[in-house]
């Protein structure tokens, strides 16, 4: 990653049809990491979206401690514009790498699933970054048993290109598409 990529910014809010994807600030990340419970995120957060043990929080905190300039690429809360409630989170694992690849991760709280929020979150983020000159590849990895995410990813045009054994998540299928080919 070059300094230009690390410092290239994304807006604090990226809006989709019904969701706002709101950047979680460095201060909020560090505060939640140091807390035993929820912290104010500025929206209704009845499920403590950053709190579950499988939250990407612990990975992203280490990244912003190393270089806070990467934060705009990291965790965003998905806020239902109509109610102001947080329904999930989405993030890229890092800014574009030397290949221009960004890998997405997302989660919708179980109380809000099967309403199209995951699809809206992913397509909103992919559409936003696919037009950037520093992004050449969009990637998603998924457990072979996660049929809903596989359908979402394949429906967006990403193609299965391989597998990997993730130390945290086990076997994952790797999907990619050239940013220039992404139709949103």
160: domain CATH number?
3.40.630.30
CA atoms lying within 13 Å on the CB side of residue 147: 1
Q: Report whether 144 contacts 113 (CB < 8 A).
A: no
Q: For residue 51, give every residue at least 6 positions away whose Cβ sits within 8 Å of its Cβ, in sequence order, or none.
A: 32, 37, 38, 57
Q: Using pLDDT thresholds of 50, 70 and 90, give the confidence band for residue 129.
A: very high
Q: What is the domain extent for residue 173? A: 3-181
Q: Does position 10 have pLDDT exceeding 90, yes or no? A: no
Neighbours of 102 (CB within 10 A): 25
Q: Report whether 174 contacts 162 (CB < 8 A).
A: yes
- What's the total number of domains in the chain? 1
Q: Does position 184 have pLDDT exceeding 90, yes or no? A: no
In the chain, pLDDT over 90 holds for what percent of residues? 82
Report pLDDT digits (tens) over 67-110.
999 999 999 999 999 999 999 999 999 999 999 999 999 999 99
- Taking residues 25-47, what's their average pLDDT? 92
What's the whole-model pTM score?
0.91
For the ranges 33-37, 119-123, 172-176, which has the lowest average pLDDT? 33-37
Neighbours of 151 (CB within 10 A): 11
Q: Does position 159 have pLDDT exceeding 70, yes or no? A: yes
Instruction: For residue 109, give the 3-state DSSP assignment.
Output: coil
pLDDT value at residue 26: 95
Q: Using pLDDT thresholds of 50, 70 and 90, give the confidence band for residue 6.
A: very low
pLDDT value at residue 8: 57
Neighbours of 99 (CB within 10 A): 9
């Amino acid at each position: 990653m070059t300094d230009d990529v690390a410092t290239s910014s994304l807006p604090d809010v990226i809006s989709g049809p019904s969701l706002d994807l709101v950047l979680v600030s460095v201060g909020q990340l560090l505060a939640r990491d140091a807390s035993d419970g929820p912290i104010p995120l500025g929206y209704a957060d009845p499920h403590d979206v950053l709190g579950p043990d499988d939250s990407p929080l612990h990975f992203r905190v280490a990244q912003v401690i190393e270089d806070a300039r990467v934060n705009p690429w990291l965790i965003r809360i998905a806020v239902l514009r109509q109610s102001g409630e947080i329904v999930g989170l989405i993030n890229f694992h890092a800014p574009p790498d030397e290949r221009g690849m960004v890998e997405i991760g997302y989660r919708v709280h179980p109380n809000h699933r099967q309403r199209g929020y995951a699809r809206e979150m992913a397509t909103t983020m992919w559409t936003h970054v696919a037009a950037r000159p520093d992004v050449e590849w969009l990637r998603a990895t998924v457990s072979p048993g996660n049929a809903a995410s596989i359908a979402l990813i394949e429906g967006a045009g990403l193609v299965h290109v391989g597998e990997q054994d993730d130390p945290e998540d086990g076997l994952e299928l790797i999907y990619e598409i050239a940013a220039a080919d992404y139709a949103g």
